[in-house]
Amino acid sequence: MKLFLITLFSILIPISVFGQSSGRDRCAVRDCLCSVLADDRVERNDQVIRQNRRYGIFFQEDEFEISSYQDVEISNLLSINNQPHPNITIIGYTDGCGEREYNRNLASNRANTIKLKILEEVPSARISIQVEEEETSNHNPDSRRVDIIFHTLSSLSTSIEKIPADVYLVDGSGSMWEEWGTWRELVNTSFAPGNRIYLSMMTGCRNGQSINSVDPQGGTEIWYSYWKVLEYMEEGETLLIISDFDTDIPLSQYEANLIENKAIGQGVRVKVIMSSD
């Protein structure tokens, strides 16, 4: 199985979205979509959240210094992820209150504070920084944070984990079974507060269940699911689609253009993780 990251419309993949028989008509699940939750094995308090290999460090409003508790917790995280030369991505965020340039500097200062702390403990760490700022438009405490991601040796995992996606659309059809554990682990690791996860399934899922409790099955209506999930997104958000696009019904150029124009018109960024033999 070959796995790679692409932009959506560099490919045309077979499946019918519109016409007399739409994806909606072929799905037992409403709109071929289930809104699911990330792995619920999450530890959290007011200052730190732990989830798999991704950790969130939270800050007070307008501040970028870490507390003594967080200082100890970061040391613990480095100990748990005991690697001689860890490959780490740090993503800094703020909420949307205040001037944009000020917020960007604040997010950068938060990220660099964490970077310096990590390098104090592990000077050989390989660290990259991303500054996303303004994750929300209001005073949302979940947006005043820095995410620390400890990468594995997998280049695919690292690529996905560096994408600060707001919404995940995961193909839950039966053809995804072989790599399902990989996809599920990647989504759970990349998931951050405020993200949403949708499964594209014709049957076999329900809203509100954990992604870990779902088994892939049936066919796929990934393009119809994609069309519908755009309606739940806001301008500036990033959608990450994970699918093998294994289907027999052709997608016309007209239909492809409709979907692409809808994403562009809503100001949504789209990335795709695709698997292929």
The pLDDT tens digits of the residues spanning 18-38 come to 444 456 677 888 889 999 988
123-160, pLDDT tens digit by residue? Answer: 999 998 988 756 555 567 778 889 898 887 655 555 56
Highest mean pLDDT among 153-157, 203-207, 247-251: 203-207
**Candidate from 57-66, 152-161, 238-247 with smallest mean pLDDT:** 152-161
Q: Which helix (H) or strand (E) holds 195?
A: none
133 and 140 in contact (C-beta within 8 Å)? no
Amino acid 34: pLDDT? 95
Amino acid 162: pLDDT? 63
Amino acid 229: pLDDT? 94
**Residue 236 above 80 pLDDT?**
yes
Amino acid 207: pLDDT? 95
Amino acid 192: pLDDT? 74
Q: Residue 94: what are its φ and ψ, rounded to 5°?
A: -140, 175
Amino acid 9: pLDDT? 45
Average pLDDT of the chain, as a whole number: 80
Amino acid 51: pLDDT? 63
214 and 177 in contact (C-beta within 8 Å)? no
The arithmetic mean of pLDDT across residues 60-71, rounded, is: 90
The arithmetic mean of pLDDT across residues 222-231, rounded, is: 90
Please state, in angstroms and rounded to a whole number, the distance separating the CA atoms of residues 160 and 63.
29
Owner of token pair 């996606």: 165
Amino acid 19: pLDDT? 44
Strand (E) positions, the chain? 2-7, 33-36, 43-44, 48-51, 54-58, 87-92, 126-131, 145-150, 167-171, 196-200, 238-243, 269-276
pLDDT tier, 7 (very low <50, low <70, confident <90, very high otherwise): very low
Q: What is the CATH number of domain 54-150?
A: 3.30.1330.60
pLDDT tier, 13 (very low <50, low <70, confident <90, very high otherwise): very low
Amino acid 277: pLDDT? 45
Please state, in angstroms and rounded to a whole number, the distance separating the CA atoms of residues 173 and 159.
23
Q: Which CATH number fits domain 2-40+157-276: 3.30.460, 3.40.50, 3.90.1520, 1.10.3470?
A: 3.40.50
Query: Could you give the 3-state DSSP secondary structure of residue 5?
Result: strand
145 and 44 in contact (C-beta within 8 Å)? no
Please state, in angstroms and rounded to a whole number, the distance separating the CA atoms of residues 268 and 226.
12
Q: Which helix (H) or strand (E) holds 180?
A: helix 180-190
Domain borders along the chain are 2-40+157-276, 54-150
**Residue 247 above 50 pLDDT?**
yes
- b/e code 152-173 from CB counts within 10 Å (16+ = b): eeeebbebbbeebbbbbbbbbb
Kindly report the number of other CB atoms within 10 A of residue 8's CB atom: 18
Of 246, 257, 254, give the one whose Cα is nearest residue 1: 246
**Residue 40 above 90 pLDDT?**
no
